[in-house]
Amino acid sequence: DKAETKGGLVVKTDDGRFEMKIGGRIQFDGYLATDDDDLGSPGLISTTGFRRARLTMEGKAYGWSYKFENDFTGAAAGGGFREMWIGTKVFDQNLRIGQAKPYRGMEELTSSNEIDFMERPFATASGVFTGNQFAQGLFLDGGGANWTYGISAYSLRNEDAAATEGVGGAARVTFAPILSDETVLHLGLSASSDHPSDNGTGAVTRTASGRQFGRIAGATAIATTPEERTAFGLELAGKAGPIYGQAEYVMADYKNEATEDEDVDTWYVQASYMLTGESKPYDAKKAVFKSPKPNGAMGAWELKARYDVMEGSEGTGPAAEEISYWIVGANWFVNPNVRFMFEYLQGNVSPFAGADVEASVFQVRTQFGF
């Protein structure tokens, strides 16, 4: 059998029927608060921290496969589980049993090693789907040359939380009418419905999370804990050579039997330009964009910007009616394993009553994927 390394490890049989990979990722962040006057003490904290430190084992045997991924920054008792599943092919479709990401929007399904910004936008578990990035159940996907589908039915169980009878389902379809190495146009559609347990476990809350920005907007979650969340998402993305753009819109309805229902809308648009001429690859099987591999010895340089906003319809006092931020920044892809991300983020929180809160932060990520 053959052993290979590019920083991680792959051992496979010559016929490819058996395989084991060991890899991981280290993401180390530094934060410098540039304006936190509007926030009470302690405000934003200029500090460092590991955003992710994961061990990932993957293998194949007799037509079945597994993925065993633990993030050591996670809480104990399974709180570090990320993808943790057993899979096989059924009628040439991919079936996975265990813990994985429900098929929601494009950015949610992009690996944290490949996302273009340090944090995902509000159209993901960093916003409207807080706490539900991973779920446990059945995950089926497939597709053709320029289209994909994914369907998932799951428990809202978090491995380190109490067992819950909360359940949900999510599905996504995508289509790429233009699909070449240099030019891509991507369209996507997703829908999900999540039902927490009557006893309150498996909650479907939504807040503005994502490390430093979570601190800007932390205490201002848009709505109360609902009995049901229904969400629809639209995706529009594409690239033309070194230019890339991506946008999503999610319309979520949180049903509160005791009070008014709440509609939460969120959308973002992000774009980048590769100074060194690379073109962002499109993964047609997962229907997401990936990171460019550098052309030259000095690595690849990318300029980028994002605007992201989440709006609620019901609420009072300091709860946020609108949370938004914009980011400008740059990425340096040193080699296929190492990257640096530099970002300046300016955020704004508008409560239903009271004055707006503004804050800004400069942040840097150092990352090694293996």
Q: How far is the CB of 232 from a copy of itself (least distance, A)?
A: 26
Q: How far is the CB of 299 from a copy of itself (least distance, A)?
A: 10
Residue 80 interacting with a copy of itself (CB under 8 A): yes
Residue 45 interacting with a copy of itself (CB under 8 A): yes
One character per residue 130-159, x = contact with a copy of itself (rule: CB under 8 A): ------xx----------------xx-x-x
Residue 68 interacting with a copy of itself (CB under 8 A): yes
Q: Using CA atoms, how far apart are residues 245 and 116, in angstroms rounded to an integer?
A: 11
One character per residue 189-218, x = contact with a copy of itself (rule: CB under 8 A): ----------x-------------------
Residue 164 interacting with a copy of itself (CB under 8 A): yes
- In the complex with a copy of itself, the residue whose CB is nearer, 2 or 181, is 2
One character per residue 5-24, x = contact with a copy of itself (rule: CB under 8 A): xxxxx-xxx----xxx-x-x
> Are the beta carbons of 292 and 323 closer than 8 angstroms?
no
- In the complex with a copy of itself, the residue whose CB is nearer, 46 or 224, is 46
- In the complex with a copy of itself, the residue whose CB is nearer, 72 or 232, is 72
Q: Count residues contacting a copy of itself (CB under 8 A)?
A: 74
**Closest by alpha carbon to 167, among 151, 188, 153?**
153
Per the listing, tokens 């090693």 go with: 113
Complete DSSP assignment for 286-341: TTEE-PPPPSSTT-EEEEEEEEEEEEESS--TTSEEEEEEEEEEEEEE-SSSEEEE
Continuous segment of H or E residues that includes residue 109: helix 106-109
* Span from 78-86, 174-182, 311-319, 345-353 in contact with a copy of itself (CB under 8 A): 78-86
> Are the beta carbons of 229 and 262 closer than 8 angstroms?
no
Task: List the structure tokens of 227.
Answer: 């009995």
Query: Before 42, cis peptide (omega within 30)?
Result: yes
* Span from 75-83, 116-124, 221-229, 307-315 in contact with a copy of itself (CB under 8 A): 75-83
Site for a copy of itself in 317-346 (CB under 8 A): 334-338
* Span from 163-171, 225-233, 234-242, 278-286 in contact with a copy of itself (CB under 8 A): 163-171
Q: Using CA atoms, how far apart are residues 282 and 279, in angstroms rounded to an integer?
A: 9
2 forms bridges with which residues in the sheet? 12
- What does the angle CA 291 – CA 364 – CA 277 come to, to the nearest 5 degrees? 35
Per the listing, tokens 């991680």 go with: 8
- In the complex with a copy of itself, the residue whose CB is nearer, 99 or 291, is 99
* Span from 76-84, 101-109, 216-224, 263-271 in contact with a copy of itself (CB under 8 A): 76-84
User: Which one among 39, 85, 238, 310 touches a copy of itself, defined by CB under 8 A?
Assistant: 85
Ramachandran angles phi, psi of 309, nearest 5°: -145, 145
User: Which one among 205, 207, 209, 367 touches a copy of itself, defined by CB under 8 A?
Assistant: 367
Q: Using CA atoms, how far apart are residues 40 and 32, in angstroms rounded to an integer?
A: 17
Q: Using CA atoms, how far apart are residues 48 and 5, in angstroms rounded to an integer?
A: 30
Q: Using CA atoms, how far apart are residues 289 and 115, in angstroms rounded to an integer?
A: 8
Q: How far is the CB of 57 from a copy of itself (least distance, A)?
A: 6
Alpha carbon separation from 336 to 64, 280, 365 (Å, rounded): 29, 13, 16
User: Which one among 46, 146, 193, 346 touches a copy of itself, defined by CB under 8 A?
Assistant: 46
Instruction: For residue 202, give the 3-state DSSP assignment.
Output: coil
- In the complex with a copy of itself, the residue whose CB is nearer, 16 or 144, is 16
User: Which one among 36, 39, 98, 186 touches a copy of itself, defined by CB under 8 A?
Assistant: 98
- In the complex with a copy of itself, the residue whose CB is nearer, 2 or 145, is 2
